[in-house]
Amino acid sequence: MFTGVAERVPALRALYEDLHAHPELSFQEIRTAGIVAERLRGQGWQVTEHVGGTGVVGVLANGEGPVVLLRADMDALPVEEKTGLPYASTARGVDGDGNEVPVMHACGHDMHVTCLLGATAQLAARPEHWSGTVVAVFQPAEEVGGGAAAMIEDGFLDRFPRADVCLAQHVLPAPVGMVATRPGPIMSASDSFRVLLHGRGGHGAAPQLTVDPVVMAAAIVVRLQTVVSREVAGTETAVVTVGAIHAGTKENIIPDTAELLINVRSTTPAVRDRVVAAVERIIRAEAAASNAPRDPEITALPSFPVTLNDPHATATVVTALGGALGPDRVVVLPQPITGSEDFGAFGTALGVPSVLWHFGGTDHALFQGIGPEDLVANGLPDSVPTNHSPHYAPLPDPTIRVGVTALLSAAAHWLPRPTGS
């Protein structure tokens, strides 16, 4: 199944650079979806477009055997690229709130699409090496947590062969060639909120006649830092982030309102409930302490569930990845990553095992003297750009080859070689 992967890399690199230079925001992946559909049809796949909006599904049946779902996400982020690469994005887009924003593949979804298209090409070209059916899912809108749900709501379960296992991968700023996963929770749940604080505006020279929502917002931001440090045990995992504050128009005007955007990450239902309740309690208490004329408005934004890896299927994937890439390249994570994913929605909806793994895409030169165990224990060096950074971009080669190989090797366990071949 792997014969010819290396020969595909130059063409796949050209595809990757094109996708990187032309990113598209969530549910706007029209150009990307068109490229995916055209490539799949050229490889001989049965293709369905516009699944859940801009999603694309390819099906390749090759005799009797299990059904394996392979997923890649396609959307980009409202980030202005600063990598300096010759194929860096200069794209602009309009976000869901109607704002014009820069657009960048700052999370590696262009790499995911490239690797899955490389794997689909191999599967189509080497039918003598496997049997069964593969469902290749190119999903929109992972970044906003709605793409998988949109595809499922669009009849995914009834329109396509029912998978026996769901597999996916995500590129991270780890040394290229390294892969990492774990059984059980692999990525955190994410809950986000928009908070509108009500004050009473007025002149900056007479603050005693106002209720200042900017001071109220500042007090909330500071107090929220105590939720994890004082209400979550050291053996548990949670993160609370205030990602945006919007208030006022001029330095000498106290505004009527202030807006906060808040994100909570957790890995268990108990911790989630405790942290979300604490966040709401603090917001309402600080508003009351500030004598706000109205209660704050707390609006839930799109959320992500915990991503759970099936233990038995994960053990199989770890063995397969170790066999293809070398056992010293595979790391079993001691705890979940605090980022979030919606890939698990497919396995949950289908009622089948799913496995997500991470693969490195960063030059080894940035990790001199740092081994996999050091990364797990101490985190990334400050010099390594992370996902969602304007400086983040995976190293195309050999990341593409590793990503294609990882997908094929993981799927191979469920796609047995035909008898006598």
The DSSP string of 154-169 is TTHHHHSPPPSEEEEE
Dihedral of alpha carbons 7, 13, 18, 20, sign: positive
What is the reported pLDDT for 421?
Answer: 58
Known binder of ligand: residue 115?
A: no
What is the reported pLDDT for 44?
Answer: 98
Alpha-carbon distance of 280 to 287, in angstroms, equals 11
Residue 194's CB: how many other CB atoms inside 10 A? 15
Residue 99's CB: how many other CB atoms inside 10 A? 9
Q: Going edge to edge, which strands form the sheet with 46-51?
A: 46-51, 55-62, 132-139, 67-73, 165-175, 354-362, 179-181, 330-332
Known binder of ligand: residue 166?
A: no
Global pTM exceeds 0.85: yes
Known binder of ligand: residue 358?
A: no
Structural domains present in the chain: 5-187+306-412 (3.40.630.10), 189-304 (3.30.70.360)
Low-confidence ranges of the chain (pLDDT < 50): none
What is the reported pLDDT for 3?
Answer: 82
For residue range 4-36, what is the model confidence (pLDDT) as tens digits? 899 999 999 999 999 999 999 999 999 999 999
Known binder of ligand: residue 143?
A: yes
What is the reported pLDDT for 97?
Answer: 86
Report whether 281 contacts 234 (CB < 8 A). Answer: no
For residue range 333-374, what is the model confidence (pLDDT) as tens digits? 998 998 999 999 999 999 999 999 999 999 988 888 777 777
For residue range 42-52, what is the model confidence (pLDDT) as tens digits? 999 999 999 99
Report whether 67 contacts 76 (CB < 8 A). Answer: no
What is the reported pLDDT for 420?
Answer: 62
What is the reported pLDDT for 182?
Answer: 97
Residue 222's CB: how many other CB atoms inside 10 A? 12
Q: What is 13-53 written as a DSSP string?
A: HHHHHHHHHS---TT--HHHHHHHHHHHHHHT-EEEEEETT
